[in-house]
Chain A
């Protein structure tokens, strides 16, 4: 008897091949190229790059500084994130959704914008302090130009990350575990100390590792706060060397970026080790914990929370906006001196800024759209695929994002310094190399929400279409895409927001004509034009916040857990 023809296998093969090609191109190829440069520069095994790196005291100092600000930032972020998530999740304070939205906003704002905003708040030229008459005399250094400043801002930048992870964990904590402890006579602090925090160890450790990796790889904050004080960390050292030496020093900076990769990996491995030793897997599902009634302490607690928001978000943003309204360095801001010239300059006059708007919009929209369309089939394979290599697939996609952006940027440089073989196309020194790096780096931001969309989707919906005769592509188009599109698009928006003011990758890959908004802000600030940098940053912050609010308004239609700042 003859088996009837099978078209379905062909489509499945085509899909798998396409996804495989994307993974190879955007994840494996850059990483392999980087490793090759470190171990086998020029095709022969050599430890020369490593040896010269080991002998360089500047590298040692930068490595040490990286570890210091990495750990310091992690400690600040974890402390703040844990306290806030416990207060917001476990007590009966009001307006939690709004509070969360504001608390998470620093995570959505590019690090260099955060840095810039804080600088405006404190320095001698601070429009804010000058308006209050509190500014230090001109000529004194900004107190944020220091390791302490970097650590504080890294902490503020990544506290929301800890907050989000821990809050997700707290909401899964079965209420019975807490109620059993209460029935045993424990008061609120004892419950938190003996039940909640120990059970949350895996979440906290995981969040700490992620924060450490983010701090170690952060470029914007140490670039704005560290370079003026000559306090270098590895990402800024790479930037300086590359800016000074050009492609000739690629081999050397490849080693430095591998060093950052090693530091980041150490964080991840340590986290893995700790969470293996303390495996408190929560197996039951139940209602979330009853929130503690704060009684008369509710109002003071709410006031404290909003004070915190004022300090970490409102004040720096005020600093940013005030600076963007002054005519020049050190000019006190009052009704006579206020001006919108800076905005009209960056929006209409400055040609690089105009180009940067076009470039950044193009880059972030392309990266977002590409990621949405790729995330749907990849999420399909990750969630419902049966193949054994799926685990590796997930890992390979996470890698370019888990590793600091500097690493990927250097890998992209190495990969595309020479024209692409066979095709002969040169994308080095064009905007396309930035696009490549963005696609590689941000893909996972769309895949994560898409996968969580898939896991909330009933597979029988697809099987019903399969039974109705629909081929794989038909099912993807008519059933699966419409159902997971909201989740994938939320991911796309995250990518858009992140890529719009991205700096780390583009600072290393940009060239004249391919400036991004992040690069232009950085150039303004380095050239002493804080007012223009602030104006441009204020525009970006406004756009970001408007997008967040816009997405919020249709959050009812999204699957749970897709928007980071919504439950």
Chain B
């Protein structure tokens, strides 16, 4: 039985298609990150899982139970899920303990039992003894923890995180990431984590669903998403992948195939059965780029830009063979280039983006 199953889900607002035919299965206890640029439909997806939006077509199951179908909606308050909101959504007229105990109060749990469970939840998020505080007197990180405690006290079947770190500063983010990971490990709850920050998604998720323009682009482990992006969007969105046209010269064998890139032969990773075809593109990352020795083969070109990033510099290289293309790579201090320098580089590998099915 799956923790969450989304089947052929679509959502239109008037003329606008917010979600198009999205299908995702999340296993019980799995941590799924939904990653995408703003406007990709990830928030709509979350609101539909939560039950705030009706589905246009398709179906949503939570723990084996249909909760959303066209014309049939289990209201959010009967879905037994938890949400950690981006702005925490703590009720300002209640104390921390009242915030956390609210769902138990709604479920008519006895007062002593509520107190015990609230205290446990507070201890779990390291806020012991803060139950009487007002949310207004807490720091951002503490508020986030209260929101987390409020969500876990009801022991939901599924927890949704809506960009929970977007309002925190960089230092706090790292420590909250650790806390989310610990939370997941402790509770074993199924988690759907909405974010636009790929570092967050990579750090936390068992699998990542990359979305764009309302469509699911790829659903895979972070490693697969990084090394074997399913299409150009994923390739360029994740870690600033460079997408370049390539001529495939040989058919796949053992997961590799031969190709020509900017006049140089290159050996590429690829999917089984791939081979020579029109419009083939590869995805390279900065770590595939190496400065060639003067006497060895390589791609000639010049340096267009040097951006110092503290400890390393990001170099933008333009090959003579194709002045429209930029190749980015990092050089540690002290790096030898200035703008306009001639240079020769080698590409040590890359990923042949699979042929796209027409749609």
- Say yes or no for A3: interface residue by CB 8 A criterion: yes
- Chain B 99-118 near chain A by CB (<8 Å), digits 1 or 0: 00011001100000000000
Q: In the complex, A460 Cα to B86 Cα: how many Å?
A: 9
A466 within 8 A of B: yes
Q: Is B148 an interface residue (CB 8 A)?
A: no
Q: Are B91 and A6 in contact (CB under 8 A)?
A: no
Nearest to A1 among chain B residues (CB) is B66
- B289 vs chain A, min Cβ distance (A): 44
Does A270 lie at the interface of the complex (its beta carbon under 8 Å from any beta carbon of B)? no
* A479 partner residues in chain B, CB cutoff 8 A: 91
In contact, B102 and A465 (Cβ under 8 angstroms): yes
Q: How far is the CA of A465 from the CA of B101 in the complex (A)?
A: 11
Residue of B nearest to A459 (CB): B89
Complex: A465 Cα to B151 Cα, angstroms: 11
Q: Does A424 contact B (CB under 8 A)?
A: no
Q: Which of B65, B80, B83, B150 contacts A463 (CB 8 A)?
A: B83
Smallest CB separation, A280 vs chain B (Å) = 28
**B89 contacts A461, C-beta separation under 8 Å:** yes
Assess A9 versus B75: contact at CB under 8 Å? Given A4-B65, A467-B81.
yes
Contact A468 B72 (CB under 8 A): no
Chain B contacts of A87 at CB under 8 A?
A: none
A interface residues, tally (CB under 8 Å) = 25
Are the CB atoms of A466 and B76 closer together than 8 Å? yes
Q: Which residue of B lies closest to A465 (CB)?
A: B102
0/1 per residue, B76-90, Cβ < 8 Å to A?
111111110111011
Binds B, one of A201-209, A218-226, A469-477: A469-477
- Cβ-based interface call for A464 (8 A): yes
Cβ A468 vs Cβ B91 within 8 A: no
A466→B93 CA distance, assembly (Å)? 17
CB neighbours of A4 from chain B (8 A): 65, 74, 78
**Contacting pair A6 B75 (CB below 8 A):** yes
Q: Bound state CA distance, A470 and B103, in angstroms?
A: 7
**Candidate in B72, B87, B91 with the most chain A CB atoms within 10 angstroms:** B91
| A57 beta carbon closer than 8 Å to chain B | no
Q: A458-B89, A460-B89, A469-B77 are in contact. Are A3 and B72 (CB under 8 A)?
A: yes
Closest to A479 in B: B91
Q: Determine whether A563 belongs to the interface, using a CB cutoff of 8 Å to chain B.
A: no
- Say yes or no: B103 contacts A468, CB within 8 Å: yes
Tell me, yes or no, whether B50 is within 8 Å of chain A by CB. Answer: yes
**B243 contacts chain A at the CB level, 8 A cutoff:** no
Whether a CB of chain B sits under 8 angstroms from the CB of A28 is: no
Q: Are A464 and B89 in contact (CB under 8 A)?
A: yes
Q: Give the shortest distance, in Å, between B32 (CB) and chain A (any CB).
A: 18
A5 to B75, CA, bound (A): 10
B55 to chain A, nearest CB (A): 13
In the complex, B308 has a CB within 8 A of chain A: no
Interface size class of B (residues with CB under 8 A): 20 to 34
- Contact partners of B90 in chain A: CB under 8 A: 464
**Which residue among B66, B77, B80, B154 has the maximum number of chain A CB atoms within 10 Å of its CB?**
B77
Residues in chain B near residue A466, CB distance under 8 A: 52, 75-77
B334 at the interface (CB under 8 A from A): no
Rounded to whole angstroms, the CA-CA distance of A4 and B68 in the bound complex is: 11
CB of B92 to closest CB in A, whole Å: 7
Q: Which of B119-154 contact A (CB under 8 A)?
A: 150, 154
A198 within 8 A of B: no
A483 to B92, CA, bound (A): 8
Question: In chain A, residues 6-65, which have Cβ atoms closer than 8 Å to a Cβ of chain B?
Answer: 6-9
CA distance A469 to B74 in the complex (A): 12
Contacting residues, chain B, for A483 (C-beta < 8 A):
91-93
A463 and B78: CB pair below 8 A? no
Complex-state Cα separation, A549 to B65, whole angstroms:
57
Of the candidates B69, B86, B89, B92, the one having the most CB atoms from chain A within 10 angstroms of its own CB is: B89
Q: Please, how many angstroms separate the alpha-carbon atoms of A458 and B86 in the complex?
A: 12
Q: For residue A257, give the distance in angstroms from its CB to the closest CB of chain B.
A: 42
Contacts of A1 in B (CB 8 A): 61, 65-66
Q: How far is the CB of B229 from chain A (nearest CB, A)?
A: 33
Q: Decide: A461 and B91 in contact? CB cutoff 8 A.
A: yes
CB within 8 Å of B: which A433-467 residues: 458, 460-461, 463-467
A465 to B89, CA, bound (A): 9
B52 and A463: CB pair below 8 A? Answer: yes
Is the CB–CB distance between A6 and B85 below 8 Å?
no
Query: When the two chains form their complex, are residues A468 and B154 in contact, meaning their CB atoms are under 8 A apart?
Result: yes
B150 CB contacts on chain A under 8 angstroms: 464, 468
Residues of B within 8 A of A6 (CB): 73-75, 78
Is A245 an interface residue when CB atoms closer than 8 A count as contact?
no
A4 to B106, CA, bound (A): 18
Distance between B25 CB and nearest chain A CB, rounded to angstroms: 16
Contacts of B74 in A (CB 8 A): 3-4, 6
Q: Tell me whether B103 and A460 are in contact (CB under 8 A).
A: no
Using A1-B65, A4-B78, A463-B50 as known contacts, say yes or no to A470 and B87 having CB atoms under 8 A apart: no
- Cross-chain contact A463 with B76 (CB below 8 angstroms): yes
A8 and B106 contact, CB distance less than 8 A: no
Whether B106 lies near A468 (C-beta < 8 A) is: yes
Residues of A within 8 A of B83 (CB): 463-464, 467
Does B106 contact A458, Cβ atoms closer than 8 Å? no
Q: Which residues of A come within 8 Å of B, CB atoms?
A: 1, 3-9, 458, 460-461, 463-471, 474, 478-479, 482-483
6 A-B residue pairs with CB within 8 Å: A8-B77, A467-B81, A468-B77, A468-B150, A471-B77, A474-B106
By a beta-carbon cutoff of 8 Å, the part of chain B in contact with chain A is: 50, 52, 61, 65-67, 69, 72-83, 85-87, 89-93, 102-103, 106-107, 150, 154
Closest 4 CB pairs of A and B: A468-B103, A8-B75, A460-B89, A464-B89
